Each structure stands twice: as structure tokens, then as C-alpha cells.
Amino acid sequence: MKQLTLALVAHDAKKDAMADFVARYENDIRPFVLFATGTTGGRVMERCPSLSVTRLKSGPLGGDQQIGALIAEGKIDALFFFVDPLSPHPHDVDVKALMRLALVYNIPMALNPATAERLIESFRR
């Protein structure tokens, strides 16, 4: 059985929520190959030092695009992107491009912890 790959991205105001989520579901997430944008990956690794996370560049410095490239290459099986809908984001174009790629390549995408939880449950089956 193929090892699944999960990408983790979170806006600044949602990075703690992502780290909390991963910590809560650490045993379920452990079997995944994990990629994350720089700061998000750092927060996750601080909370869950036993997880192996490949950290890419920070989102505004190209990390969103790196994850988008991995999606386009068929190397990402699911995307957890915790979005902060209440704050402006200077790299909003990159964010939209990443979400567009997830839609084009038909990969499951969770934009909040509730949806991510449902995806985790579906991976248990």
C-alpha cells in the first residue's frame, strides 16, 4: 500500500490551530509523509518533535508554490490549509493558486479543523 502524503499550510493566525490539530491527531498523522510551509512546519515540529516534516519555504517566499508544484506532480494526496478568513493576506494570489491546484488535481483539501478531522477519519478506514 502506498504511503500517503499530506501537505500542511496555515495562515499566521491559524498556525497554533494547525499545531494543536496535528498534536491531537499525531498517531493518525504519523504514517503520512508530511510537507509543510516553513513556519507552519516549524510550529508542528515544536509541538510534535517525533514527526518527520519536510519544511519548505515560508508561504510568502514561495512555499505555497512549492506545495502547488508537488500537487501538480501528483506527490500530494491531501492538503490541510487552515485559512484565516478575517485577515488580509498580501500573498493572496499565491493562496488562491494553491487552492485552485488542489481543485484541478482533485485532492482532498481541508480549510479548517472540522474538515481535517473528517478527512483523518476517512483515512482510518
**CATH number of 21's domain:** 3.40.50.1380
3-state secondary structure 106-118: CCCEECCHHHHHH
Residue 85's pLDDT is 84
Domain that holds residue 29: 5-124
Instruction: Return mean pLDDT, the chain.
Output: 93
The number of folded domains in the chain is: 1
pLDDT of residue 11 exceeding 80? yes
Catalytic (active-site) positions: 64
Please tell me the predicted confidence (pLDDT) of residue 124.
78
- The whole-number pLDDT of residue 91 equals 66
Share of the chain above pLDDT 90, in %: 78
Q: Is the pLDDT of residue 54 over 90?
A: yes
Residue with cell 517525533: 50
What are the DSSP E strand ranges found in 27-99? 33-36, 53-55, 78-82
